[in-house]
Amino acid sequence: MSLFVQKYGGTSVGSVERIEAVADKIAGFKAQGHDLVVAVSAMSGETNRLIGLAQEISSAPTPREMDVLVSTGEQVTIALLCIALHKRGIKARSYTGQQVQILTDSAHMKARIKHIDVDKIRADLSEDTVVVVAGFQGVDEDGNITTLGRGGSDTTGVALAAALKADECQIYTDVDGVYTTDPRVVPEARRLDKITFEEMLEMAGQGSKVLQIRSVEFAGKYQVPLRVLSSFKDGPGTLITLEEESGSMEQVVVSGIAFNRDEAKVTVVGVPDTPGAAAKLLAPIGAANIEVDVIVQNVSADGTTDLTFTVHNNDVEKARSILEGVAIELGAKSIKTDPKVAKVSIVGVGMRSHAGVASTMFNALAKENINIQMITTSEIKIAVIIEERYLELAVRALHTAFGLDDDKISEE
Amino acid sequence: MSLFVQKYGGTSVGSVERIEAVADKIAGFKAQGHDLVVAVSAMSGETNRLIGLAQEISSAPTPREMDVLVSTGEQVTIALLCIALHKRGIKARSYTGQQVQILTDSAHMKARIKHIDVDKIRADLSEDTVVVVAGFQGVDEDGNITTLGRGGSDTTGVALAAALKADECQIYTDVDGVYTTDPRVVPEARRLDKITFEEMLEMAGQGSKVLQIRSVEFAGKYQVPLRVLSSFKDGPGTLITLEEESGSMEQVVVSGIAFNRDEAKVTVVGVPDTPGAAAKLLAPIGAANIEVDVIVQNVSADGTTDLTFTVHNNDVEKARSILEGVAIELGAKSIKTDPKVAKVSIVGVGMRSHAGVASTMFNALAKENINIQMITTSEIKIAVIIEERYLELAVRALHTAFGLDDDKISEE
């Protein structure tokens, strides 16, 4: 008999029928004798409906009041799920973030959890009661309602699992696990039985949007075993674990291929190779809230160097106009932009101890005549920037080159 | 400069546009330098939408979870109203019942307020902040969310006014005051400038559904001056006051005509005139949650008596089938029912000191050939049961007979 913290997302509780299905699922776990704490999101569409009401009134609604407003979405779900559980003869009790309580800082709309009081939850569990907690929300020290930001229900689930030392935190979503790459691009993509936290972070950061990245960091930090499963069909999902526990994975060099289509490239040509030049160029970009992804600067040859970075392709013109003044000031030659690039990354803890991963990657791309424009690496990731139109081709080529296709290997 | 507690009902905050209109109204009061505490209902339709969701899941949803569910309705309104006030440059702060806090007993869906903590409200008022409180809801001693039952937002307003010793509690609604009778039945019906708490209780209890009856009792008990106004058009509304303060009203014998169309009559004929017979007949009716309105039993002549009472006409068949067994047991002769009766009442503190009110009433009805089936009286009310088809005729006749028509008198 285990203690599971389960999190059900917006589509999983998107209608009365879906809430009933979740109640059935929970009833099944209770029949097996497990203890359950369940964190839920707002019914899909509800948070957007509430935000829409506020925006009809004001283009800049107050963050404190936005939290009061949107936190009602999860409160509706906890009540409905408890009613559905009671109908099935299962003891259940709902809690808002304020009631648990989930204490956060006071950063409205992006609060961070400081402490969770588990006394009430433990008492309920000892009486065989399913505890249903509103995800995404908490309360600050002055009693103000706070929210954790979009996707924060995942974080609520992981934080509850950490505070309760649960056996597993199960994130129910609309996909049945983490895949080697996006199955819409590579039909041979396989569901991974296991992946490490580090790999998951690289995959999530690269655009595999299965889990909110903060919740993965949180789970890694507190060593909470995290499992991603589908609430629509049965299956083991993907377990996200510490590297040490996942011996079987060591055989695999590359676990997955991540990609991001929406990148744009900005190059400042002929930057004088002096200390602080890169900082002077990037500081105003950051100040304008433009997120910079990859940054590459090569070694200097003639006393000048080229600095290249990527931004979201919506931001490329804004970035260029910001840079123009700074670039002239620094004595740079010109600014070039290319809105039509994409990033492809191979991710895997296995590559740490394997030479030759990079050359396998580059060879596979060369064989398809795909030119590599930029390269960056981390311990468990190699990312390249290529022309956007080659994205699908590159992902498929790499998926095959690293033996990830469905019929080739099984990672266990 | 005064301290006003204002309550805005569901239709007053029924849309984003209506919420903006309420914010404008509040801005006007602030411009005059008043301190304001505002209690709001859920946007009209929202509570029913939430109850509908619960009922899709269960025909008997758990009261505790129903309170968690429906209390979100008012929480949405407080946030939206504060956002609208902030847009107008007005300092405002929202509170749920839990945050204020409004402490209640634990009777979910029909909780009663035990205590209101006004410290936070006083602190906000001293900083010129409009305090916006979710109506209808509170929290019990264990931190469970409770609600006060339908219409409970009025009670929240009155309780806040009592706790804060406000100068006036203003109930904004979709009517512009309390009328001598329903203007849909009597076009000559006039808005009353003043009415006493006692009269208001009799009027409300008789079907003039302007204010929740509990809130009037509450206001009377704590001597909170209560004013009913329209949130849709300007005007003085109707002030509900203590009798002592409203000397001008004494001149008026009857303040208003109330009526209820939905009554049905049940008569148990030939009940042996023994102690406890009436109790034996009515106990099972109460136990079945059938509300009994008027009860009349006349003096006994031949050792038996007839007991007549009225119930809602939806309940009349249920009442009959419950009574059949008990009546036989008691040795009663028969049970007669009539689902087509109505009640008409005249209400006024003035009738205490005026003889002849009853005869004026009965004469007016006789002149229209309306037969009186039952009569009951209280200190400030005389109610008669008549055939339902004569209802409008009776109300109009009485409205004229007691000088209430628009062009006849002004009560001040």
- pLDDT band at residue A251 using 50, 70 and 90 as cut-offs: low
Q: What is the pLDDT of residues A32-62, one digit of tens each?
A: 999 999 999 999 999 999 999 999 999 999 9
Residue pair A205/A383 in contact by the 8 Å Cβ criterion: no
- The burial class, CB within 10 Å (0-12 / 13-18 / 19+), for A209 is exposed
Kindly state the average pLDDT of the residues B320-326.
Answer: 90
| Of residues B19, B65, B75, nearest to A94 (C-beta) | B65
| Interchain pair B80, A57: CB under 8 A | yes
Q: Which of B266, B220, B241, B257 is nearest to B346 (CA)?
A: B257
User: What are the chain B neighbours of A94 within 8 Å (beta carbons)?
Assistant: 64-65, 68
In this predicted structure, which of A153-157, A258-262, B303-307 has the lowest mean pLDDT? Answer: B303-307
Of B399, B144, A182, A326, the closest CA to residue B408 belongs to B399
Distance from CA of A129 to the nearest CA of B (A): 14
| Tokens coding A298 | 């090569």
* Model pLDDT, residue A410: 43
pLDDT of residue A242: 79
Which of B353 and A187 is assigned the larger pLDDT? Answer: A187
Residues of chain A contacting B, Cβ within 8 Å = 16, 19-20, 50, 53-54, 56-58, 61-62, 64-66, 68-69, 71-72, 75-76, 78-80, 82-84, 86-87, 93-94, 96, 98-99, 143-145
The pLDDT > 90 percentage for chain A reads 60
pLDDT of residue B407: 58
Secondary structure of residue A73 in the 3-state scheme: helix
In which residue are the tokens 């003044």 written? A325
Lowest mean pLDDT among A126-140, A290-304, B117-131: A290-304
Distance from CA of B19 to the nearest CA of A (A): 9
Distance from CA of A75 to the nearest CA of B (A): 7
Give the sheet arrangement for strand B145-147, strand by strand: B113-116, B102-104, B137-139, B145-147
Listed ranges A11-20, B250-259, B353-362; the one with the highest mean pLDDT: A11-20
- The answer to whether B290 and B253 have CB atoms below 8 angstroms apart is no
* Stronger pLDDT, A346 or B303, i.e. the higher one: A346
Which carries the bigger pLDDT value, residue A3 or residue A244? A3
Greatest mean pLDDT among A76-85, A108-117, B291-300, B317-326: A76-85
Residues from chain A contacting residue B19 (CB–CB below 8 Å): 57
Report H helices in A225-348: 277-287, 316-330
DSSP A1-16: --EEEEEE-TTTTSSH
Residue of A364, A361, A367, A385 whose CA lies nearest to A375: A385
Q: Is residue A274 over pLDDT 70? A: yes
**Between the CA of residue B99 and those of A62, B5, B139, what are the distances in Å?**
18, 18, 9
CB contact under 8 A, B53 and A143: no
Check CB contact under 8 Å for A75 and B72.
yes
Name the pTM for this structure.
Answer: 0.81
Give B35-50 pLDDT, tens digit per residue: 999 999 999 999 999 9
Least Cα separation, residue A68 to chain B (angstroms): 6
- Give pLDDT, residue A236: 94
Residue A145 pLDDT > 70: yes
Spatial distance between the Cα atoms of A384 and A402, rounded to a whole number of angstroms: 16
Question: Residue A391: which pLDDT band, with cuts at 50, 70 and 90?
Answer: very high
pLDDT at B208 over 60: no
- The DSSP bridge partners found for residue A344 are A259, A384
- Rounded to whole angstroms, how far apart are CA atoms A237 and A192? 8
Contact B180, B190 (CB under 8 A): yes
Q: Which of A57, A80, A96 is facing B53, going by the closest CB pair?
A: A80
Give the range among A147-151, B362-366, B401-405 with minimum mean pLDDT: A147-151
Name chain B contacts of A16, Cβ cutoff 8 Å: 53, 56-57
Residues of A within 8 A of B66 (CB-CB) are 79, 83
Query: What does the pLDDT read at residue B206?
Result: 56
Task: With a cut of 90, say whether residue A77 has pLDDT above it.
Answer: yes
Please report the ipTM that was assigned to this predicted complex. 0.80
In chain B the domains, ranked by start, together with CATH numbers, are 3-174 (3.40.1160.10), 257-401 (3.30.2130.10)
pLDDT at site A206: 56
Q: Which of A75, A83, A145 sits opposite B58 (nearest CB)?
A: A83
More confident position, A216 or A71: A71
Q: Kindly indicate the confidence band of residue B88, based on its pLDDT and cuts at 50, 70 and 90.
A: very high
Residue A378 — very low, low, confident or very high, per pLDDT cuts 50/70/90? Answer: confident
Check CB contact under 8 Å for B68 and A84: no
Q: Which of A20, A65, A96 shows the shortest C-beta gap to B82?
A: A65
Residues of B with CB below 8 A from A87's CB?
A: 57-58
Which pLDDT score, from 0 to 100, does residue B150 have?
67
Query: B148 falls in which pLDDT band (50, 70, 90)?
Result: very high
With H, G, I as helix, E, B as strand and everything else as coil, classify residue A307.
strand
Q: Report the pLDDT value the prediction gives residue B224, as an integer from 0 to 100.
A: 92
Residue of A261, A263, A293, A294 lying closest to A185 (CA atoms): A261
Can you give the pLDDT at residue B250? 44
pLDDT score recorded for residue B170: 96
